[in-house]
Homo-oligomer: A and B are copies of this chain.
């Protein structure tokens, strides 16, 4: 019985990949173990259980999304940053539906839960998307919530098949992002 060379990171990564393939809700310890060529109880040497695994996948997702948006908006501002960041976010959710779901389901446990750091980074990425718009500081929180709501709602509806069979979904997304851009440009009050 040679060892499989697993650790928390590789188990999490494999779990994330499997969740993307079969759906986060269908992810099970048994399936993941089989995928890794190992028996289910062995996974408990690396993660504390299914809840811990889901949490870790969620942290991975948050981190990856923050990175994707951050990279997309690097060196851009205004509409360019908004469009690039929005596209990065949507693409991530479409390409990694399982992780995306895990990321949204994850709730920070303690005060030093690494999830908090990941969420903070993601927030920084969201803010970066708004660089270049002259926003009234009092309104910034509302704008941020608008952005998150709209992009998360769109990605979530699209990923779960909420839009009638994909007619013009790309067009809709472009339209939506432009709508927000124009609104932000003309927002006074």
Contacts and interface: CB of A to CB of B under 8 A. Distances in A.
Interface in A40-94: none
Contact of A142 (B141, B146, B148, B176): B176
Interface in A145-189: 145-146, 148-154, 156-157, 160-163, 167-168, 171-172, 175-176, 179-180, 182-183, 186-187
B171 A142 contact: yes
A107 interface: yes
B142 A149 contact: no
A151 B157 CA distance: 11
Contacts of A149: 149-151, 153-154, 157, 176
Contacts of A105: 160
Given A175-B139, A179-B183, A187-B179, A154 B145 contact: yes
Q: How many copies does the complex hold?
A: 2
A104 interface: yes
Given A150-B149, A150-B150, A171-B142, A104 B160 contact: yes
Contacts of A172: 141-142, 145-146
Given A183-B183, A186-B186, A176 B107 contact: no
Nearest to A105: B160
Nearest to A168: B141
Q: Which 7 A-B pairs have the closest CB atoms?
A: A153-B153, A149-B153, A149-B154, A142-B175, A152-B153, A183-B183, A150-B150
Interface of A: 104-105, 107, 139, 141-142, 145-146, 148-154, 156-157, 160-163, 167-168, 171-172, 175-176, 179-180, 182-183, 186-187
